[in-house]
Copies of this chain bind each other. A is one copy, B any other.
Amino acid sequence: MRKTILLVCICFLCTLVKAQDVTSPDKNFVLKFTLQSQGVPAYSLTYKGKEVIKPSHLGLELKNSTSLLDSFEVAEAKTATFDETWSPVWGEVKQIRNNYNELAVRLHQTSTDRFIVIRFRLFNDGLGFRYEFPQQKKLDYFVIKEEKTQFALAGDHKTFWIPGDFDTEEYSYVTSNLSEVRGKMKEAVTPNCSQTTFSPTGVQTPLMMKSKDGLYINIHEAALINYAALNLNLDDKNMVLESVLTPDAVGDKGYLQAPCLSPWRTVVVSDKAGDILESKLILNLNDPATVKDADSWVKPIKYIGVWWEMITGKSTWSYTNIENVQLGITDYSKLPPNGTHGATTAHVKEYIDFAAKHGFGGVLVEGWNEGWEDWFGKTKDYVFDFVTPYPDFDVQELHRYAASKGVKIIMHHETSGSIRNYERHMDTAYKFMVANGYNAVKSGYVGNMIPRGEHHYGQWLVNHYLYAIDKAAKYKIMVDAHESVHMTGLSRTYPNLLAQESARGTEYESFGGNNPDHTTILPFTRLMGGPMDYTPGIFQTRINAINPNNNSWVRSTLTRQLALYVTMYSPFQMAADLPENYNKFLDAFQFIKDVAVDWDDSKVLEAEPGDYITYARKAKGTNNWFIGSTCDENGRTSKIDFKYLDEGKKYIATVYSDAKDAHYEKNPQAYTIRKGIVTNKSDLSLLCAPGGGYAISVIEVTDANALKGLKPLK
């Protein structure tokens, strides 16, 4: 009797909750969860009545176990609301509101008596959902064969994409309709020293799209912890994207132990492009900071570095010219210096002097340590020890010298993909940093991974990257990781993770060039998960002026390089060019000196992915603003206002913009600088050259004398 009643009750609940809706706080988004026939869980999403995600399946395929794909019934559906404001340690804004309506559906798989929960959070800027695997008898250890999360799109959207890959994000973005991905894939897969594509229609996330009816849609993931990273495979007949996780060496996609969680899958949507850029959804889905007292030791950094000269080929990372090195056995003191080594004590002191003179807090130095003669392409295990300097790099003396100038040297840990080696040395390496005055490290993961067979974006490596960041925090060390997995908002939980590269950065301007519209796309894609160490600021765009053997050139005007300090948000910003090039353009360089790296507010003034982005940001703890605008190869006129300035105040605006005849290829260094007064009633119309842009510092007037000789800016 009791059993029958129980059954009836469950059915009733099932009937009740077979379909469940939840809306965003402002009601623009509606998420529908349903169980389709065969008990397959599905969801769909609309925005202001328009389809964004058509009904799409959810679930996971398991290895050696019944998959979590079907035969579900709804055991429970709970809704909740959350509304809190929090302050990041550093960021684009001072305060972030975390406000969502949540639906948590507890599903029971009848055939196996197992439970999963799918939790949906609807924000005013989009959707996040994840799988949860509660502690339970019938599910403890399981292996993912593949996650089967679908995103059924409502049209053949214009898309900004890079090829799906388990090892690199360093591709140029392709702008095309989804239906054209297949045809453009071959050309899109440019060579990289570590790359593993998986499908002729595979694409990476963050994936940016624009529908024909003007909706901007961005798909990514948040809080990637102990799970394989997400890629997407496009079914280009039906315009359905499906999750593809990164495999391990034996083809498995994840080892999980309940209770555990998947990362959040995110869909950020708006009819205004700027809303995508301003979205804090991914950060909001991450846990609050676990690092204690981060405020006291995590500080955004503006830096220069002994780096670009090696990237351009003018200098070398290596100290000598030998075929191979055996750390601890090779006696560098007996080998002839090659005369091209960049990281020498004397040269680094020059950089320290320049940094001190111009107010930069840090000097990155690459190639300071033994091992660079054969670090690349050898799949070498014991490749670096992270603590032994070359004979011409005096660690202690440079520590002393930098400290005397109020500058910090930034450590460099290139791992060469040799992960066990890095972990074996990590504590010693971090202790070495602390002992010698370093508090920030740029790490690198160039080349194929060791353990061999593992991929940059697999669960094993995702675990490692966070291990390195978490351990760094224990030593109060800040991290900028290159060639690491895409960012997913983890900087909220680990504020010592300042930035990553994890995309095609400025170095590629020296390796053949980036597209002129590259920086009009990156904020819509790469930056969705966190800041990028893009290392802008190249004033000498013709590389052969630095190294006659390198004919690559930077697809950018000089003032667009200034703009990037505003449009490419990062708390870890490099002025990447050589000091001698800055010395030739000190008036333009002034903007880089002035621009902040931490903000109380940020506003997108105008934006269209692939075309242009203009940002205004308020420097932390001040009433000053900085504006930056970047555009594509077409050039344009940018019209902006200043409505966000304080009522009744005057500001001095210094505008750095392309000269009338500037052009990213033909005339990149033609720029004008003009100063004038602006108020919140001002507006400006500014010329942007092809591949160009502008930068403006807007400084609050506190002393009326400063206004002398200045006129309102037009």
Chain A interface residues toward B at CB < 8 A: 135, 137, 140-141, 143, 248-250, 252, 255, 257-259, 323-324, 326, 374, 378-381, 420, 423-424, 427, 451-454, 460, 463, 467
Contact = CB atoms under 8 A, between A and B. Distances in A.
B323 A248 contact: no
Contact of A137 (B252, B323, B452, B463): B323
B141 A257 contact: no
B324 A140 contact: yes
Number of copies: 2
A374 B140 contact: yes
- What are the 6 tightest A-B residue pairs by CB atom distance, in nearest-first order? A249-B249, A249-B453, A451-B451, A141-B378, A250-B453, A140-B324
A195 B423 CA distance: 28
A257 B452 contact: no
Contacts of A453: 248-250, 451, 453
Contacts of A467: 424
A63 to B, nearest CB: 11
A632 to B, nearest CB: 42
A255 B420 CA distance: 15
A460 B418 CA distance: 12
Contacts of A135: 324
A255 B141 contact: no
Contacts of A452: 248-250, 252
Contacts of A252: 452
A300 B135 CA distance: 47
B324 A257 contact: yes
A269 to B, nearest CB: 36
Given A257-B324, A257-B380, A249 B141 contact: no
A257 B460 contact: no
Contacts of A137: 323
Given A423-B420, A423-B423, A423-B424, A141 B250 contact: no
A451 B454 CA distance: 9
B424 A249 contact: no
B423 A141 contact: no
Contacts of A141: 324, 374, 378-380
Given A140-B374, A141-B324, A257-B378, 14 more contacts: A135-B324, A140-B324, A141-B379, A141-B380, A248-B452, A248-B453, A249-B451, A249-B454, A257-B326, A423-B424, A424-B467, A427-B427, A451-B460, A453-B453
A57 B380 CA distance: 30
Contacts of A463: 381
A252 B465 CA distance: 26
A401 to B, nearest CB: 33
Contacts of A380: 141, 257
Contacts of A381: 255, 463
A3 B248 CA distance: 54
A255 B248 CA distance: 20
A464 to B, nearest CB: 8
Nearest to A449: B451
A249 B248 CA distance: 10
Contacts of A143: 379
A374 B257 CA distance: 11
Contacts of A250: 249, 452-453
A288 B287 CA distance: 54
A258 B322 CA distance: 13
A140 B249 contact: no
A378 B141 CA distance: 6
Contacts of A454: 249, 451
A420 B424 CA distance: 9
Contacts of A423: 420, 423-424
A339 to B, nearest CB: 21
A324 B379 contact: no
Nearest to A378: B141
Nearest to A424: B423
Contacts of A374: 140-141
A257 B423 CA distance: 21
16 contacts: A140-B323, A141-B324, A141-B379, A248-B452, A249-B451, A249-B452, A249-B453, A249-B454, A250-B453, A257-B326, A257-B380, A420-B420, A420-B423, A427-B427, A451-B454, A451-B460
A447 to B, nearest CB: 13
A196 to B, nearest CB: 12
Contacts of A248: 451-453
A14 B427 CA distance: 54
A448 to B, nearest CB: 10
Nearest to A226: B381
Nearest to A258: B324
Contacts of A323: 137, 140
A536 to B, nearest CB: 36
Contacts of A427: 427
A650 to B, nearest CB: 57
Listed residue (A135, A423, A452) with the most chain B CB atoms within 10 angstroms of its CB: A452
A141 B258 CA distance: 43
A429 to B, nearest CB: 13
A70 B381 CA distance: 29
Contacts of A259: 326
A711 to B, nearest CB: 64
A253 to B, nearest CB: 12
A650 B469 CA distance: 71
Contacts of A324: 135, 140-141, 257-258
Listed residue (A250, A451, A463) with the most chain B CB atoms within 10 angstroms of its CB: A451
A688 to B, nearest CB: 49
B451 A255 contact: no
A4 B258 CA distance: 75
A28 B63 CA distance: 59
A250 B259 CA distance: 32
Nearest to A459: B381
A146 B94 CA distance: 60
Contacts of A424: 423, 467
A379 B256 CA distance: 10
Nearest to A379: B255
